[in-house]
Amino acid sequence: MLDSDIEVKNDTVLQLIKYMKDNPAVARMTGKSIFNLGTNKGKVDRPTPQDRTFKKDNTTFIEGIYGRYECYYKTPFLEVGGYDNLFEYCGEGTDISVKFWRAGYPLGYDENILAYHNTEAPNSLRRSNPDKMANMYLSLFLVAYKYDVFDINNSPNFIKSSQERKNAYGDTLEFHAIVSAAKSFNWIAKNISKIKKSKEKIPNNYNFKPFDIFTDKEEIDKCLNAAKEKIKPFYKKVFN
């Protein structure tokens, strides 16, 4: 799967498939994306400095995959409910990444696989959104609610992730957050039953929190130690 503004190299798809074959404890994965136009041309798009990775048994795992391009097994994707349509062009990557991890299906990353992000491509739903800030905050409200992000001690990396927004908006950040919350009231009231149903359906094999998958060392070890056996039926169907 790849976004409409992602351009891949000739061998990118084959590299993704080879990665899945060589890493049987991974259920979903991505590579590095590079900006190929604009002022950021040549710079890394994803992962950002806030996207944490964790290496175990020669496999690099990543906390979240946020669109761009990816490869995954169909059965785990359907099992976790796929993409949640409550997230309107923002936040769906965060949500499905947490669902994969909570179901015991790790996400992998290979820095040697490359694709290019064309930020000037036409028909981008995210870029055409006139109120991206409110939409972004709404997605954070939704994941915080769905995954019970209430204890500050369990979300140290969630807190750090706000630094990117602070760098961009400085002293106006709190104002944007408050206004975004106010703009979300009507939408939340209209969709509250869907939001509650969405929360009821999330996997609970592991109690991972958004942006803090690697924070609980005991939980991540349990998940990774069991992953290969859990993924084995899908792996065998594809590669054997």
State the pTM of this model.
Answer: 0.92
Task: Quote the tokens at residue 195.
Answer: 């939001």
* AA identity, residue 17: I
Please state, in angstroms and rounded to a whole number, the distance separating the CA atoms of residues 10 and 15.
10
What pLDDT, on a 0 to 100 scale, did the predictor assign at position 102? 98
> For 173-215, how does the pLDDT look when each residue is reduced to its tens digit (9 = 90+)?
889 899 999 999 999 999 999 999 999 999 999 999 999 999 9
- Closest of 206, 230, 223, 231 to residue 61, by C-alpha: 223
Q: For the chain, which residues make up each domain, given as ranges?
A: 6-230
Parallel/antiparallel/unpaired status of strands 28-35 and 44-46: antiparallel
> For 120-179, how does the pLDDT look when each residue is reduced to its tens digit (9 = 90+)?
766 555 555 667 889 989 999 999 999 999 999 999 999 888 877 888 788 898 898 999
- Closest of 30, 96, 54, 52 to residue 221, by C-alpha: 54
* AA identity, residue 63: E
